[in-house]
Amino acid sequence: MTVEAAKATRAVLSGNWVDDILLGGADAEVCLWLDEPIDRAQLRHAVRVRQIELAAEGVRRGGTVALWLPPSLEFVVTLLAVWRSGGRAILFDYRLTQHEVDLACQRLRPQFVVRARGTRGGALRGYLDVVDTIVEARSGLPATTEHVLIQLSSGSTGPSKVIGRTAENLIAELGRYSRMAGVAGEGERIVLLSSMVHVLGLVGGVMFGLHAGAQVVVPQRMTGEGILRTVAAGDAPTTVIGVPFHIELLTAVADPAPLSQLIRMTTGGELVRPRVAEAFLDRYSAFLGTMYGMTETGVIAEDLSGGHRPALAPAPGMELRVAGGELLVRTARTPYLGAVDPTRWVDGWLHTKDAGTIDAATGLVTVLGRLDAQVSIGGLKVDLMEIEQVVSGLPGVTEAVLVYDRGIAAYVVVDDSVTVADLQEGLAAQVAPYKRPQRYTVLDKLPRTVTGKIVRDLAALAAARRPECDAA
């Protein structure tokens, strides 16, 4: 056991893991910055006050508390207070409707739901000012396992799954981040664009920033100009964490001013379109890195320097293998709670449902996309994700998704000047005939989950179409 692992074990056993792993550091050290800077002393005080307030509402050790809060200081403080109380936090995306939250509560049975009574801020805000919160008592159940965090998977490829993580598991992921070259360090800044409710923004952004002594900053406005203003507002070396959509925002800014502070942008989620990656690298003197992970595990593999693109190095301590063309990840236990497909976790191996390869000489991993994106056309195998990248790179294409529906179907968002004939002509020069879409549908925008992932469900795509623009 490493010294770091031993320290984490002691913190978990003592019940002080929040104080030891996340809330330590000098009182005057600024650790968060939303509307204004928040130092360590202020954060610790706010967490203690919130813990007392939750106790007055009945939250006890082993209590289950759902957080239905927007990205905010209140979200961070309440989450840490629940954990410091010895409770379990269940995270709901703040963009869910009351109906969706009620359904989730029926499924997960929290004892309490914390929600915002009122907020200040509007569209395109990176965070909101929570005016007040309501703690609703529910007829839920206390925790019967040691999981301190419950999240729902995105549901972009099927029904969402209930995923549980223990304090030990979260601390282990922070340890993996600490051993990766190219993450933000003490005294540096993390400009966080990813959602605080989901794994990259929560663990890789908020939690790792607190753990590593890096300042976590959330832009006031989530526009390209707003993000760049946030980067320019500090002198320390800055890492931006987001998703490919945020790279597109930044590449759309005309003639951005030089930013010596910006040393790296790291994205998770879907692949960055090659044309967008090239535009980002042309405009900004910064590394463009990639992380691959899952809600179930956190970060699995990375290429923070962009030097191996599209290949990735396994994150420290992660054991991967390929079986039947599928990437598998070693985990000590199943991450799932409740009913789930029993083939998702078998004999200590988590089935990612992603196709991939591992280079025998270098150990580098290449993620080839979802297994359900591998289809057979006339007995010949076609990787829809590969063709989707080609379509996305055609002139005038803003977004594209390919699915199999009695043949390859392309759903695209394009400039007004682009026709389906243009797409067919452009693809003909790059892709063999049997790999080309048999049908194109032009959309105003692709349907996405609340986390920004493209929904590949045929019904959702069909509902978003412009019927007059369908073409064979």
Does the structure show a pLDDT above 70 at 299?
A: yes
Cα distances (angstroms) measured from residue 382 to each of 272, 391, 411:
20, 14, 17
Fold assignment, 378-469: GMP Synthetase; Chain A, domain 3 (3.30.300)
Q: pTM (2 decimals)? A: 0.83
Find out whether 265 and 184 touch, Cβ atoms under 8 Å: no
Supply the pLDDT for residue 35. Answer: 87
Helix H or strand E encompassing 303? strand 298-303
Neighbours of 321 (CB within 10 A): 12
Q: Is the pLDDT of residue 13 over 70?
A: no
First to last CA, the chain: 60
Per-chain mean pLDDT for the chain: 89
Amino acid at 302: E
Domains 3-160 and 173-372 fall in the same CATH topology: yes
> What pLDDT, in 10s, does the model give residues 177-195?
999 999 999 999 999 999 9
Mean pLDDT of 297-325: 94
Q: Mean pLDDT over residues 451-459, rounded?
A: 75
The pLDDT > 70 percentage for the chain reads 93
The region of weakest confidence among 71-80, 123-132, 278-287, 444-453 is 444-453
Q: For residues 400 and 425, what is the distance between their CA atoms, to the nearest angstrom?
A: 16
Please say whether the beta carbons of 350 and 297 come within 8 A: yes
pLDDT of residue 161: 87
Q: What is the mean pLDDT of residues 451-468?
A: 73
Residue 468 pLDDT exceeds 50: no
Task: Give the start-to-end residue ranges of the domains of the chain.
Answer: 3-160, 173-372, 378-469
Q: How do residues 38-79 score in pLDDT, each as one tens digit?
A: 999 999 999 999 999 999 999 999 999 999 999 999 999 999
Quote the percentage of the chain above a pLDDT of 90: 64
CATH fourth-level superfamily of 3-160: ANL, N-terminal domain (3.40.50.12780)
pLDDT surpassing 90 at residue 9: no
* pLDDT classification of 469: cutoffs 50, 70, 90: very low
Quick one: 173-372 is in which CATH superfamily? Answer: ANL, N-terminal domain (3.40.50.12780)
Given a cut of 60, whether residue 20 has pLDDT beyond it is: yes
d(CA 40, CA 463): 48
Exposure of 154 in the CB half-sphere (CA atoms within 13 A): 21
The per-residue pLDDT for range 393-409, each reduced to its tens digit, is 899 998 898 888 888 99
Q: pLDDT digits over 221-261, tens only?
A: 999 999 999 999 999 999 999 988 899 899 989 889 999 99
